[in-house]
Amino acid sequence: MRFAPAAVALSLVLAVSASVTSADDRQAAPRAATLIAQGDAALKAGDAQAAIDAFEAALAVDPGHTPIFLKLAEAARLDGLQGKAIRYYREALDRDPDNFAAISGEGLALVEKGALEKAKRNLTRLESLCGASCPETRDLKLSIATGTQTQFAAETSAAESTPASN
């Protein structure tokens, strides 16, 4: 009899934690899934604004579906809106802190924005979570290396183009 309250509390904790961990595995609402498909088609066609519109509509239909934030961030990056993309990636990370795609995507957007040190922090976090061989880690590492070279080349050409003073 003394163990009954503890057993009830333990079973409640297990039930709640199981429901929280499985919350991200659910499918999108049918109408949201249709809008996501429209957004994907627009993204493949290179129409970032139409994709953003479709994904935002899908988010309005199903605000609890985290992958929509990743799609919105991808479309925002394609449209050159890295700050907005970072905000969407962070929203996805608030909902699922260990989402490899969100960590990597945020890092890629940070590289595109020129924030290489912050991107390197994302790379370190990603390496600790999934290792150096996972595709998200490799993509971010390559992007950081390319971004560093691009930034160095831009600084070098800017230094060469400024006239020397007398």
More confident residue, 100 or 26: 100
Structure tokens at 49: 């604004």
51 and 35 Cβ atoms separated by less than 8 Å? no
pTM: 0.73
Task: Return d(Cα 155, Cα 159) in angstroms, integer.
Answer: 6
Confidence of residue 164 (pLDDT cuts 50, 70, 90): low
pLDDT, tens digit (0-9, with 9 covering 90-100), for 109-159: 999 999 999 999 999 999 999 888 899 999 999 999 987 655 444 555 555
Give the per-residue pLDDT at 152.
44
Rg (CA), the chain: 21
Residues 97, 110, 28, CA angle at the centre, nearest 5°? 45
CATH of domain 29-96: 1.25.40.10
Percentage of the chain lying above the pLDDT 90 cut: 64
User: What residues contact 33, with CB distance under 8 A and at least 6 apart?
Assistant: 27, 58
pLDDT, tens digit (0-9, with 9 covering 90-100), for 15-49: 444 434 444 567 888 899 999 999 999 999 999 99
Give the per-residue pLDDT at 131.
86
> How far is Cα of residue 119 from the mean position of the Cα atoms in its chain?
12
**Would you say how long the chain is, in residues?**
166
Domain map (residue ranges) of the chain: 29-96, 98-155
